[in-house]
Amino acid sequence: MAGEKILIVDDEKLIRWSVRRQLEEWDYSAIEAESGTGGLAQIRSESPDLILLDVRLPDLGGIDVLREVKQNHVATPVIMITGDPQLDDIKTAIKLGAIDFVKKPLDFDELQITLSNALDHSRLRSERDVLRDEVRKRSGYHEVVAKSPRMVELMNFVRKVAASETSTVLIQGESGTGKDLVAKAIHYDSARAEKPFVAINCSAIPETLMEAELFGHERGAFTDAKAQKKGLFEVADGGTLFLDEIGELSTYLQAKLLRALEEQTIRRVGGLKDLAVDIRVIAASNRNLEQGVHQGTFRQDLFYRLSIIPIFIPPLRDRMEDVLPLVEFFIERYNFRFRKNVKGITKETRELLMEYNWPGNVRELKNAVERAMILEESDCIRPTYLPIQVTGQVQDFDSAIPVTADAESGGEDHSATRGVAKWRPLPSGKLIPLLRLPKQGTSLEEVERSLVGLALRQSDGNQSQAAKLLDITRDALRYKMNKFGFEVKAEDTPE
């Protein structure tokens, strides 16, 4: 790519002039420095795309300049220039990160090829870094919002764990605290980031299938084993295996897992030989595994092996400083997803969010914001669309349910059933709405029809979102839509 900026650091003026002239003929942009300190100053001010650096300089040696560059500008490629190539200099420079050497007198044909290769390599590395960042964003681990002192300290510790060579990590915390995100943070901030991150929920797979899922199987190992299959240990080789809810594993599988961790080998079901694997295992549980050890449901030796580096994620109620930053993060995320422009939350919403103790932790907060973002039509989230658990009140449906005789009432006019919701306090302090009903009364079925209509309108006909608002499955929603005469689009019907 033409136009890259190349810094020439050489104390010989004639060499700088000749190289500069040649670079400009090749459509590069050239800058110069005649000393090591001058070169470092140019690097700081100009941020060159590549550095041509002489080994012998009048003040700082080229090796010292290279060392400084790599400490602060790791991605900048450096090509060393030398009139007297010494093996020790070459070895030191390559070890520090120099990408190549060129000898004096300079062969410009050779220099052009060397520059082109170095810049191509640099561009590929930049593209790789961009892709890696995209993978990290898609992985969701950046959702670990750490503003409270406890979480800042925790994430600093997580970075140290990621940079270490430890092969096992145990993450504990209540459901919804973000154990999977911390596991991804450890993986993507480690030297294993370019290798697979493989996750499995140990409670989601039947015990009879779990062994083959983890360790793989040979063809014919059991009735349905028609072909050889790699297990997740092999799939994750070189990377990270995340075992969520590890407390659900049977003691038999715990023993096999312990052997794999201790020996860094696995054996497929029905196999005869051990296979070496190089993985980091991150285990997570919302149970108290130490208590499981005392109760005999979790092996003590496996617990000690996993908990060499234990990480405990505090519940959201113990780090309330993170609530509002998390809300801001989720609003930004859902603005993009739902193509909205919600700017924030009202004062009343802020107070309600900070007064609630969030038993479902970050997951509950995330779901609450998502729900509000789907329903909210103003530029700030109001308490109206927060869950009842947060507000202590059921939503006022008065203006939100435009029941019409043709669309939803089977030809009957139920407009009289619409009224301002009244609030009746309960002994527990909760509030429930009482619809202003007509004299002739109304049926539960009519209220249900109205709620289905509301959910479909608020979600613009998106059945998945409507079902989520009603806290029912899509199949249940489609059943009710058919029951109440709503149109179920063909493309929304399962194949």
Q: Confidence band (pLDDT; 50, 70, 90) for 10?
A: very high
406 with 438, same domain: the answer is: yes
Percent of the chain whose predicted confidence (pLDDT) is above 90? 52
- The tokens of 233 are what? 């240990």
One DSSP character per residue, 160-210 reads HHHHS--SEEEEE--TTS-HHHHHHHHHHTSTTTTS-EEEEETTSS-HHHH
Which of 291, 314, 337 delimits the end of a domain? 314
Instruction: Count the Cβ atoms, other than its own, within 10 Å of residue 442.
Output: 14
Residue 333 inside a domain? The answer is no
Q: Give residue-wise pLDDT tens across range 357-372.
A: 999 999 999 999 999 9
Residue 73 inside a domain? The answer is yes
User: Whose CA is closest to 376, among 336, 327, 342?
Assistant: 342
> How far apart (Å, rounded) are the C-alpha atoms in residues 393 and 386?
9
111 with 202, same domain: the answer is: no
> How far apart (Å, rounded) are the C-alpha atoms in residues 32 and 20?
8
Q: Coil, strand, or helix at residue 257?
A: helix
> How far apart (Å, rounded) are the C-alpha atoms in residues 393 and 434?
11
Q: Coil, strand, or helix at residue 483?
A: helix
> How far apart (Å, rounded) are the C-alpha atoms in residues 156 and 160?
7
Give the pLDDT confidence score for residue 141 in this predicted structure: 55
Residue type for 145, please?
V
Give the pLDDT confidence score for residue 135 in this predicted structure: 58
Q: What is the mean pLDDT of residues 212-236?
A: 90
30 in Cβ contact with 24 (< 8 Å): yes
Residue 280 inside a domain? The answer is yes
Q: b or e along 243-257 (b: 16 or more beta carbons within 10 Å of the residue's beta carbon)?
A: bbbbbbbeeebbebb
301 with 171, same domain: the answer is: yes
What domain range includes position 447? 392-495
Which of 314, 349, 369 delimits the end of a domain? 314
Domain count for the chain: 3
91 with 149, same domain: the answer is: no
Which of 294, 314, 334 delimits the end of a domain? 314
121 with 147, same domain: the answer is: no
Residue type for 75, please?
A
> How far apart (Å, rounded) are the C-alpha atoms in residues 136 and 129?
10
Q: Give residue-wise pLDDT tens across range 322-335.
A: 999 999 999 998 99
Residue 416 inside a domain? The answer is yes
158 with 12, same domain: the answer is: no
CATH number of the domain bearing residue 160: 3.40.50.300
64 with 85, same domain: the answer is: yes
265 with 305, same domain: the answer is: yes
Q: Give residue-wise pLDDT tens across range 127-159.
A: 766 666 665 555 555 568 889 999 999 999 999
- Exposed / middle / buried, residue 233 (Cβ in 10 Å: 0-12, 13-18, 19+): buried
Give the pLDDT confidence score for residue 434 in this predicted structure: 37
214 with 171, same domain: the answer is: yes
Residue 325 inside a domain? The answer is no
Give the pLDDT confidence score for residue 52 in this predicted structure: 94
CATH number of the domain bearing residue 491: 1.10.10.60
User: Whose CA is closest to 249, among 283, 295, 294, 198?
Assistant: 283
Which range has highest mean pLDDT (121-125, 383-387, 478-482)? 383-387
Residue 101 inside a domain? The answer is yes
Q: Is the pLDDT of residue 1 over 60?
A: no
187 with 287, same domain: the answer is: yes
158 with 296, same domain: the answer is: yes
CATH number of the domain bearing residue 119: 3.40.50.2300
145 with 120, same domain: the answer is: no
Residue 88 inside a domain? The answer is yes
User: Whose CA is closest to 162, among 129, 184, 140?
Assistant: 184
Handedness of CA 27, 33, 36, 40 (dihedral sign): negative
Indicate the average pLDDT of the chain. Answer: 83
Residue 337 inside a domain? The answer is no
Q: Coil, strand, or helix at residue 6?
A: strand
Q: Higher model confidence: residue 474 or residue 255?
A: 255
